[in-house]
Every structure is written in structure tokens, then in C-alpha cells.
Structure 1
């Protein structure tokens, strides 16, 4: 098979990571892999792993992106992929328009992946207009069937995202050098009970909840220290300032540390005593929660969305009624007093995810699905 995946850019994020993982699986299985995007820092890795990257500015949510319809059509006709796999709304629209200019008999098969709970409108509906629509969790399946009745349920395929357990091995501990560097950079973290909130700086991730949590618990448990792992882009700088001011006002400067965007997320998740998932909106999957559990770190999160699906299967004790602050406090207290042992994770593997996606590709090409 020859598969062409399309997404806005290749910098960082779950969509980008999933694209590289599927691309690598295609190459490993002896297929051809093409990726169309506006480029980014992950392109060298993509190409080193055997895929071909085709640069096209299909990332902007503006009418100007329509200028890319003809260039994309030329790429499709030139490379003649068996399958087009769209992973975002702007590329999906450009792809649909490009296909209109290709005779039906010569068009590749079209597959989409719904990665998010998009706003419900005609613009988002494009993600449900494909031969097969991959949903990354049961929560996403429910979202599609509830809001887009024109998408036949038989065309929706639930394929959980997955992780490589060898990258997040159970019981993993960072190297001594990592601890040495971390305590040099952040001496306030040494000999503390670490509560980690991973995720970029945005109002959706629940940072205010974390601040209130530490303000309430720090007198009872002076060893508690919160670490926020995630950066703030330029547009979110004002929100980061707002959070830091709130921390100062509550006298928590010595109790909460922001470490910014990190490439060593595995080490931070393993170093932490508890990982929190407090997003103010449901997550479609919750990969970071899965990574932490795979390492053996307890995760406490709101009972909704993809995170709830992961926790209900792997660590139901970590499920907390949404916005129930008392239950959240009790769960943290329980961990401080008697940490839970997390058994090795055997579900949600990367091999399983890639195998299901490649099987879907094959079945679509063979028209047997």
C-alpha cells in the first residue's frame, strides 16, 4: 500500500506523534508512507524512519488555504496513493476539494481520524465525511454519533491511541545524572512528595484547581510540592503571568514549580508521586495519563472523556467525580499517607493501535471492511 497522511504541521502534539507512529509502522510492514504538512521539527525524524515528507502550507485556518487545493491535487496525481488519511480539519477540507477534480475511478480511498471534540458545525463535519472515520476513544464515538447523524455508525471505527511500553517501562526510574541536574536546577524539589500536572499552559488544563489544592493541603502536608510540566506559547503568556500572580498572592511560590516545555516527560512522570488530570473539558484520550500509569505512577483525574476510559480499565481508584474538590483532596491525602501500587499495563499498546490502523487501511483497499 501507499498511504498519504495529511496534517497541518509536524512540530509537537498527539496528532503529530500519532502520524509518525503510523508512518513508521507502514515502513516496517513494507508499505510506502507519505506525509503532507507545512513541516516542522519532527520532519527529520519522519524521514530518517523511511517516510517521504511533502511540504505544503495546509495549516492556516483561512480562505487563503484554498490556494493549496490545486497543488495538493497535483501531489495526489503525481504520487497516486492508495489511501489519503486526513487528521485535521483544514487539511480535510483542502483534500475534499482536491478530490473533486479527480475522476472518481482514480481517487484514493479517504480515511479520517477524529482526534478532538471539535466545535459542532459544518466546518467540523468534514472530519466525519470519509469512507472510514477513526475515533480515538468511545467518548469520541459518542460525540460523532450524537452530533453528526449523517455519519453512519458502521463507518466509525474506534481505535484507541497507544504507547510503546518499552518507552514507558513499569518501575522506570530516571538516571542519577537526571536527578543531579534536576535538583541543581530546582533544589526546592528534593525530598518532596511531587504532584505533577502535565500539559501546556492553557485554561483548559486545570491549573487553578492545582493552585487551590496546594493552598488547602500544604499546612497538613508540608512536604507536598506541585510541578507543572508544559510550556506556554506567546498567546498564553498573559495567562501564565496570571497564574504566577495568583501563586504569589496565596504565598505558594515555594510550593509550586513551573518547569516549562520538556522533552524528558517520561522522567518527570516517573519522578512524580502522583500525576493529575484536571482538564476543564473532557480529553478525547489522555495519553499522558496512560504514560504515567505505564511507568507505575498513580493518576488521579476527573471521571469523563478518554481519561476516564483509561482509568476505569487500569486504575479505577483514580477516578474522581467531576469538580468534586473534596473527593480530589481525599484522593491526594490517601496517596500521601499510603501510596498505591500500580500494576504493569498490558492494554493500550502502540503495536495494537498501529496494527488496527494498518488492518483498516488494508480492508479499505480490498473493499472488504
Structure 2
């Protein structure tokens, strides 16, 4: 079976590398895969896995007639049976490229959604797909609520699973890495080390660190927070506001700004706890899932995909949204005892589960065709 992936956002890290993981996994499972995406560091990995790659600078270039013809030629030359479209513009593009083809030659289109659609006319694009995939139950519910979908439209929920070879409870940072960390990040002996990963934006709720740390200080629970987010890409005014807030609240010395960390897996492993303080329900959060896969407890507000994942892995990590006192209480408990987490990832949160589910969907659509 021939699968064509259209992924205008393909790049390393987070959900944006889903197309590469699926293409390589499906290739290993016996499918023939071609990826259309901007050139990036993942192309070498695709080539090493015998996946063909065709470059595109931006999805917008396909709106021109000559580029649309180019995609039609690519669909024909690859003899695509299935097209996986990773954004709503990509799904619309795939439909336009294939709509004029004879029905018996037309590939089936699967729209894979990792975030809330923002493209104008996105509901129409959803209805043009032969099947839809959402990477969380929360996202499926939001798509159903916001879009006027066909009454019989079925949305498959296929979480973007974690690679167990990279994230597992047995993983440990190297001795050299640990020594470097100890030299650069010195925290009080016996302090609870807390990692807060994610973009530095108002949506990620870093202001809640003030009442959380203040509460822990009142009950004599030593804690130190490591914020792992790219300060260079953060809004300067917002970042300055946070720094002033932490200084005025007397918790400045309990916070270390790590900046962007390509070694985030090691940072998570060296810390005791991971926090999610997002103010709005998210439709995906790879870091929370990876932290749990590494055996690190996560406390977070019980909404969106964070509540969904914690409900499976660590129900006691769920805290009512905006209940920062509840977050502090949970950290106090975990400072006294370490909660039990799965020794291995449960279904469907392994990358192998994701690949098998997508393969089954592709095969079922091909049989229907």
C-alpha cells in the first residue's frame, strides 16, 4: 500500500514530528511512504528508513495552479492509495488535487488533527476527508462540538504515543551530564525539585508558582523550580513581568530559568516532579506523557489532555483547574512519599500502538475502496 503524507509543519520536537514517526513506522510495517514537507533535520531520518521525501517551502505555495498540478503528478507517480493530511489546509489541498481523478484511482484522505483548527473553512475540509483522526478524546470532543460534521462522521482517537526505547523508567542521564547539572544547578539539600516545561506564555500559568511556592514555604516544604522554556522566544514584556512578580513575592531564589533544553528528557529525569499549570485545556501535551513514561510523577490541572492522560497514569496527579492550593498540597504529599506509576506504558500510549492503529485505519479504508 502506498501512503502519501502532507505535513507542512514537519520539524523535530513535539507533535510536529508525528508525520516522520508514522512514515518510518509504516515503512517498517511494509507500507511504501512518501512525505511532502519543508526541508528540515528529519529528512535524513526519513531517507535512512527508505521513505521518499519531496520538499515544499510552505503549504501556501500549493495554492497556485502549477503547484496543485505538481501535487497531482506526485499522487499519480507514487500511486498513492492513502493520503495522510496533517493540517486542515493540507486536507483541503489533497481533496482539490484528487477530486478530478476517476473514482477508482482516487486515494482515500485521512485528516490527522493534533490541534484546534484555525484555517478558514476548516469544517468543510474535515467533511471532505474519508476519515478523521484526533490525537486525544478532548480534541475529538472539541472537533465534534465546533464543526458541523456529517451526522455519521466517525472520528478515530489515536493518541500520539511515546517511543519506549527513548522514554522508559530505566532511562538515566549519563554521569557526565549529571556532574555538569550539579555544577550549574545547585539547589538546597533535601529540596523537592520541580520541572515546569513548556512555552513561556500567559496560557501556561507560570504566575501560579507564586501561591504554590509561598504555600510550600509556609509549611516548611523546601522546593526549587526549574522552568524549561525558551526565554529567547518569550514576549519580553511578559517575561519581565514574571521576573518582577517572582522577586516581589520573595521566591526569586527558588526559581531557575533553564531556557530551551534539547536535553529535556534528562532534565525531567533529574527532577522529582513535573508540573502542568496550563490555564486552558490543551488538546495535546507530549511533555506530560513523556514525563510519566520516564517514571516521573506529574501534577496538573484536570482539564484537556492533561486530565485525560493523568486519569490513566496517575489519577492522584489531577487537581481542579486553577486550584493552586491543591497543587501545593499534592507536592507536599509527594515530598513525603513517591507515588506509584506504571512500570510500562499502557495501551494506547506507545508509539507502536499509534503506528498499528493508523495502519489498521489505512488498510480498512483501502478495502472499502
TM-score by length of 1: 0.90
Distance 1:164 1:280 in 2: 28
What RMSD in Å do the two structures reach over aligned CA positions?
Answer: 2.4
Structure 2 unaligned segments of length 5 or more: list them: none
Partner of 2:337: 338
Partner of 1:39: 39
Q: What are the equivalent positions in structure 2 for 1:151-230 lying under 5 Å apart?
A: 151-188=150-187, 192-218=191-217, 220-221=219-220, 223-230=222-229
Distance 2:191 2:247 in 1: 20
Number of equivalenced pairs: 365
Distance 1:218 1:49 in 2: 52
Change (3 A) 1:145 1:123: closer
Secondary structure in 2 aligned to 1:160? coil
Partner of 2:63: 66
Partner of 1:315: 314
Q: What are the equivalent positions in structure 2 for 1:30-179 lying under 5 Å apart?
A: 30-59=30-59, 66-67=63-64, 68-119=67-118, 122-123=121-122, 125-179=124-178
Partner of 2:362: 361
TM-score by length of 2: 0.90
Structure 1 unaligned segments of length 5 or more: list them: none
Partner of 1:268: 267
Q: Residues 174-209 of structure 1: CA distance to partner in whole angstroms, max 9, x if unpaired?
A: 222111111223234776421111112222222222
Change (3 A) 1:14 1:77: same
Secondary structure in 2 aligned to 1:254? helix
Distance 1:44 1:158 in 2: 30
- 303-312 vs 122-131, which moves further: 122-131
Distance 2:187 2:11 in 1: 32
Change (3 A) 1:90 1:236: farther
Cα deviation, residue 72, structure 1: 2.2
Change (3 A) 1:170 1:86: same
Partner of 1:283: 282
Distance 2:136 2:152 in 1: 14
Runs of 4+ in 1 over 6 A off after TM superposition: none
Secondary structure in 1 aligned to 2:95? helix
Distance 1:358 1:157 in 2: 13
